[in-house]
Amino acid sequence: MFDNCIEIEGYIKKIIYQNENDMFMIGVLQSKEKTEIIFKGNIFGIDKDEAIILHGKWENHTKYGKQLHVERWERPIPRTKDKIIAYLASPYVKGCGKKQALRIVNALGENTIEIIMKEKESALIGIKGIGKNKAIKIANCVLETYELQNIIGELSLYGVHPEWTIKIYKKYQHDTIHKLKKNPYLLTEIKGVSFPEADEIAQNIGISPLSGYRIGSAVHYILNHYCFAYGHCYLPENELIEKTLEILNRNSTEKVTEIEIRNSIYNLEEKTIIIENHKVFPKDLYTYEQKLAKKIKYMMSTKQEYYPENKIDLYIKEYQLQNKIILGEEQKQAIKTVLKNNISILTGPAGTGKTTVVKAIIDIYKKFHPKHNISLSAPTGRASRKLQETTEQFAQTNHKLLGYKQDFDNGKSDGFEYNENNKLGYDFYVIDEMSMVDLHMAYSLFSAFEKTAKVLMIGDPNQLPSINPGNVLKDLLENENIPSINLTEIYRQSANSQIIVNANLVNQGKGFLVDHTKEDMFFINKIAPESIQETIIQSVQRFLSLGYNVSDILVLSPMKKGVIGTVELNNVLQEILNPKSSTKAEIKRGNKIFREGDKIIQMVNQAEKGIYNGDIGIITKIGKQKVETPTGESEVDFIESDFQGIKTIHFKEEWTQIELGYAITVHKSQGGQAPIVIMPISNSHYRMLLRNLLYTGMTRAEKKLVLIGQQSALKTAIENNQIMKRNTELTERISKLFQLSEKYMQSQKLSNS
């Protein structure tokens, strides 16, 4: 567990503990009987300045010399009156203050903790001020504190990471060891634990390679991995069996058969998976598709309100006069289509005036319905802010609209406040950047819509699809029952932009030429990744010298790894644009450094803070804040940031939610734009040289676009339109519902005649 121990005159001077997220400096006191460590950072529930006892043996390391090899650790049980009171009154024991703690110690004595662990809540019931519920709460807190360390110690012998144990303990509590020894594949319920990792632990425990738990877990792993890694909603049954066989028999002498896997799939049917026409769905994704299709059909079949053509024309004329613009015929037709249909889709490449149309639609809709409530939303914070700016109407993220809450301990959603049982209450919903909306979000949105509501979805199907399963915009566009309007005309202002013109040429699979004299788009020919990186740095510095700031510049890379991947670019750009300084505080997390003035990106939604996945901010302050701990007052580290006017604080346990944001992936850039975009185009990113990825990156630029790399790589990207097909059934489900409805109507006509 611990590395780099240094022994000086019989004492350990320091121990550096390192895991994937943090590195901690720990001061150590050693005696003949035990070694106590005073922690200077958090580790598996241990607090700063808290003493623990290590059990292990001394070993000689070839590089670092004599080391203490730690086999397990334990938190010493407090035995003095003052220490017991301090512990019971700490924030870690809920429902117990200092006065209550004093009464407990006076009643139970110096063996208070052992008595509570043995007798649980029964030891506390009867003490003044403690009823049954409070006794259970206090006893459970004590058990969690001291029972958990024993569970960690025992499971670590099999290779179970302590952080995994803490998370699984929250679910199974006292039964954790029994559950995991029987079925270690339960670990895959924890976000980030893969089947191969759980399988290795199962081997250490001695689980048979032919165990039903193992086969079922492998089926789940393969099905979910391919759905969430590639955006599928199902896998063909034979493909699932083939891939499961491969992973189970790769390093095993006892071979699992196809029949055993097929039986496992059938045993899981209706529990966690659904089989339909030899297609295997995770149960949740099947439910989302089915319910979304039904809700769309239901809303479209609801009686539509009548909008007189002459009145629409009148309002369009008034809008043009008031806003001093002339709408094109496509745009006028779009307005009419949206008004006359309960559900509709507006698409079009960059520069076709989608925003102009949306603004007009909202204005004219209000003329018909001045008292109606309109909702505007988008997948990301940046996209919703842009929607608000362009329409001059309040807009928010889809997550915020639905009242989303996140449980960061296990990475799962606590659900949405608004759903099929608690409707949102708007009359008209406008959803922008629909290409980014995955199946689960689409289902969640439509579940919360009233059946009589009007819905307008806006998107560009040529951009990258959603990261998570589903291809909702494409599926809906392919369904002939759903009205869609595709704008094609590029308007004058956009036609003067090389960025827009060339992005649309790319979208059509055509090459383009850049006129550098226009100074809005540049292509710089470089071959070696190192030369591309150097030119990216020079370009950033050049724009900064022209008066732009770091927030104006977006460096986009298709990949994270490599010399021109986001990780390396972030490290280099940080050192050049925001170097180490005695006037700037900085803090380390693993091998990453955050520094005051750094540009960062939020990686997960935090609705309660008003920031969302993909939001860009600047670190304004790094410091310490005083908090109460079991041993008294202590200081905790924090990072304060400004996300486009939204002030936030990230404490240490939240630092995994942010990354440096000088360079981000094209996928993370969706829904936002920046005055300047700089983008490497290299054959070293061969598998990511895709037309839709290049198009998406180019259309993030508002004023200037700089492409740096090889002409051959650019040509490959433009020609590569082989977008991986996603396995979805949404189009077919909606069509079948309409067909059934049509058959029913026909049968009714026949019976009436």
- Amino acid occupying residue 708: I
3-state secondary structure of 285: helix
Q: Tell me the H-state helices in 302-396.
A: 309-323, 329-340, 354-368, 381-391
Residue 115 to residue 71: CA distance in whole angstroms: 27
Q: Tell me the H-state helices in 190-308.
A: 195-205, 212-230, 237-249, 258-268, 283-301
Placement of tokens 């928010």 in the chain: 396
Select from 264, 284, 286 the least CA-distant residue to 275.
286
CB-based contacts of 107: which residues, under 8 Å, 6+ apart? 127
DSSP 7-20: EETTEEEEEEEE-S
Strands 646-651 and 632-643: antiparallel
Residue 380 to residue 397: CA distance in whole angstroms: 6
Strands 273-276 and 616-629: unpaired
Find out whether 354 is annotated in a ligand binding site: yes
Select from 302, 364, 370 the least CA-distant residue to 335.
364
- 711 neighbors 419 (Cβ within 8 angstroms): no
Structure tokens at 659: 């990354």
Structure tokens at 421: 């049982």
- 635 neighbors 526 (Cβ within 8 angstroms): no
Residue 24 to residue 41: CA distance in whole angstroms: 6
What are the percentages of helix, strand and coil residues in the chain, rounded to 5?
A: 45, 25, 30
Helix (H) or strand (E) holding 550: none
Structure tokens at 271: 């529990």
Placement of tokens 């889809």 in the chain: 398
Residue 458 to residue 354: CA distance in whole angstroms: 8
Residue 169 to residue 154: CA distance in whole angstroms: 13
Find out whether 355 is annotated in a ligand binding site: yes
Structure tokens at 395: 């807009």
CB-based contacts of 73: which residues, under 8 Å, 6+ apart? 1, 52, 53, 54, 55, 149, 153
Find out whether 351 is annotated in a ligand binding site: yes
CB-based contacts of 293: which residues, under 8 Å, 6+ apart? 730, 733, 734, 737
CB-based contacts of 71: which residues, under 8 Å, 6+ apart? 55, 56, 57, 153, 156, 157
3-state secondary structure of 708: strand
Evaluate the CA torsion angle 190, 195, 196, 201 in order and state its sign.
Answer: positive
Residue 163 to residue 372: CA distance in whole angstroms: 50
Q: Tell me the H-state helices in 629-683.
A: 666-669
Angle, CA of 249, 251 and 252, to the nearest 5°: 60
3-state secondary structure of 181: helix
Q: Give me the numbers of helices (H) and strands (E) for the chain, helices first please.
A: 26, 29
Residue 712 to residue 494: CA distance in whole angstroms: 27
Binding residues for ATP: 351-355
Binding residues: 351-355
